[in-house]
Chains A and B, each alone.
Chain A
Amino acid sequence: MKHVRMGAAVFLAAIVLAAITPRFWVTASYDAQFRETPDASPSRQFPLGTDALGRDRLSRLFYGTRVSLLLAPAAAALSCAVAAALGGIAGMAGGWMDRAIVAAADLFLSLPWLFLLLMVRAGLPLNVSPAASVTITFLLLGALGWAAPARVVRAAVRELKDSDFLLQARASGCRRSRLLWRHLLPNVAPILWAQFWIAVPVYILAETTLGMLGLGVAEPLPSWGGLLRELEDGAALSHLWLLAPVLLLAAVVGSFQLILPREDYSL
């Protein structure tokens, strides 16, 4: 299993490297149109063909991978940061503060988050630039995904709060900030790290779903969700090269799941 994990990590590293250096692999930009060859089949010039607007699919796949693979971890980091702050406060403070944060987390967890995401997305400006739309999409994902990790962090902090080493540190006159940074955070960090790895594939899939519904990253900026919209007309079964983003998505999300420790899948 260790070898499989290692293989998945190497594969992910290779994909990330390729995604952040698209100019090494493709010559055309993601929005460059070759008007004389729309809907072209794979060729030497366009290994995955071109889309209906004559844009190179391979180039769009590289740039789309960059968007999804760089921003999903950023969104996961944001939700983990919010979870660390709120879960830490709830665990340390206790009392009404703890109850209020737990109630808010319960509320967030009881709402199917695609509904919540649709509701918040519907309230945002219409005329945003592609860059702003991608930022908004992933910021929303990060901001709405704090509840589950916050509960885990809260449980860990509550356990640590009564531990002997923290009691001794407190008895030695350790300042609250030092308690947090030197004693509490290093012990909570592995939990946050695990939550981060759980969240990344979830956010990649959430962005893909939003993009396929037309509520994700705006054109002409590519993302996996936007690229997969091409399958809408059912042409994938006759044009198998259209399935390239599907294979890449499955391989990447699968690799993230393989990297996770097995126990993280249990209830």
Chain B
Amino acid sequence: MKRLVSQFVRMALLVLAAGLIGAFLAGYSPGALVDERELDHRLSEDSLSALRAAKGESANASANFARYVRGLAHGDLGYSQSNNAPVEGLIRDRAPETLRELAIGLAGSWLLGLGCAIPVGRWRRAWIYDGALSLTAGLLLCLPAALIAYLCLAAGSKSAVVLVIVLTPKIFRFSRTLVVAAYGASHVTMARARGIAESRILCTHILRSAAPQLLALAATSVSMAMGAAIPIETICDVPGLGRLAWQAAMARDVPLLLNLTMLVALVTITASAIAEAVTPAETTAGRKGGSQ
């Protein structure tokens, strides 16, 4: 219960901190005090001064922040100047595409990454298999996600496949270490000596003992997938949240970018909180004790 409360407090703090940073950026970023409509020569002097007054008002960081928090309490996420639409609607329109891509990407990369790591632990002498996989994973880790997206796009692949290719090496590399360590434990040797089936050893000994770290990795992989979604969606021209974030950065639409960053951070923290909540309490206590 205490852990859940601390996670909620952490999430609330994040929202407030991100809001404050965003309000500051929106107020002091270059060009923030100029409205493009001021260049319209058809506007009267009164209209221009009204525009300037409105802009001057929005430059106040503390007032911006207070307004943002007030709006957030009513479910209003603000207005995107570059898209000329409410932020809430933009996020609602783009989120399904990103969620679909993330679901396929995460499921595929976990199946492939963990699926390739288990035989490495199981057959310790299969060094050619291990070496070939580690080399491929190492090579893919040397390339940025944007470059993999370019190459996959040239080969006609879809964005979800690109995400699988980007995430699998990371998941393979971490889970390989965990699975090899788990298979090397003496109780696994004992279980084998007693003639217990390999499938049972995998489920009851290997995956269970590696579960806390694998869950932590699962939470981290959500964050990795979110980060990779920006270049992949931008290059593969997918109308998702990643592409929206890139467009907002190019158009210097700080309020939209702020909301997207907060949303992504909330998803990441929620994933970590879920991973922590389902991790057995004694493991967490042991880890904390160990780190202290």
Query: Which A residues contact B (CB, under 8 angstroms)?
Result: 103, 106-107, 110-116, 118-126, 155, 158, 201, 205-206, 208-209, 212-215, 228, 231-232, 234, 236-237, 246, 249-251, 253-254, 257, 265-267
Please give, as numbers and ranges, the residues of chain A lying within 8 Å of B253 by CB-CB distance.
122
Q: How far is the CA of A110 from the CA of B12 in the complex (A)?
A: 13
Q: How far is the CA of A155 from the CA of B224 in the complex (A)?
A: 24
B142 pairs with A254, CB closer than 8 A: yes
- Contact A266/B145 with A107-B17, A110-B272, A112-B264 known, Cβ cut-off 8 Å: no
List residues 9-58 of chain B with CB under 8 A from any CB of chain A. 10, 13-14, 17-18, 21-22, 25, 28-31
Task: Please pick, from B143, B145, B234, B265, the residue contacting A110 in the complex, using a CB distance under 8 A.
Answer: B265
Q: Which 8 A-B pairs have the closest CB atoms?
A: A112-B227, A123-B29, A253-B142, A212-B146, A118-B249, A234-B154, A123-B25, A250-B142
A214 closest partner in B (C-beta): B250
The stretch from B88-96, B112-120, B172-180 touching chain A is B172-180
Indicate whether B226 reaches chain A with its CB closer than 8 angstroms.
yes
B249 pairs with A215, CB closer than 8 A: yes
Q: How far is the CA of A119 from the CA of B22 in the complex (A)?
A: 8
Q: Closest CB-CB distance, B6 to chain A, in whole Å? A: 11
B227 closest partner in A (C-beta): A112
Q: How far is the CA of A80 from the CA of B21 in the complex (A)?
A: 23
A114 closest partner in B (C-beta): B227
17 contacts between A and B (CB under 8 A): A114-B230, A118-B230, A118-B246, A119-B254, A120-B25, A122-B248, A208-B144, A208-B146, A228-B147, A236-B151, A237-B155, A249-B144, A250-B142, A265-B174, A266-B177, A267-B177, A267-B216
Please give, as numbers and ranges, the residues of chain A lying within 8 Å of B139 by CB-CB distance.
250, 254
Please give, as numbers and ranges, the residues of chain B lying within 8 Å of A231 by CB-CB distance.
147, 150-151, 154
Q: How far is the CA of A213 from the CA of B247 in the complex (A)?
A: 10
B150 pairs with A232, CB closer than 8 A: yes
The stretch from B186-194, B255-263, B277-285 touching chain A is B255-263
B245 pairs with A118, CB closer than 8 A: yes
B31 pairs with A126, CB closer than 8 A: yes
Please give, as numbers and ranges, the residues of chain B lying within 8 Å of A228 by CB-CB distance.
146-147, 150
Q: How many B residues, CB 8 Å from partner?
A: 60
Q: Is chain B's interface secondary structure helix, strand, loop, or mixed overall?
A: helix
Q: How far is the CA of A118 from the CA of B21 in the complex (A)?
A: 13
Binary contact track B121-156/A, C-beta < 8 Å → 1, others 0: 000000000000000001101111111001101110
- Contact A122/B268 with A231-B150, A234-B153, A267-B217 known, Cβ cut-off 8 Å: no
B257 pairs with A267, CB closer than 8 A: no
Please give, as numbers and ranges, the residues of chain A lying within 8 Å of B31 by CB-CB distance.
126
- Contact A209/B254 with A112-B223, A126-B30 known, Cβ cut-off 8 Å: no
- Contact A213/B261 with A110-B269, A246-B143 known, Cβ cut-off 8 Å: no
Indicate whether B205 reaches chain A with its CB closer than 8 angstroms.
no
Please give, as numbers and ranges, the residues of chain B lying within 8 Å of A253 by CB-CB distance.
141-143
Task: Please pick, from B147, B216, B223, B235, the residue contacting A208 in the complex, using a CB distance under 8 A.
Answer: B147
A205 closest partner in B (C-beta): B144
A122 pairs with B269, CB closer than 8 A: no
B225 closest partner in A (C-beta): A112
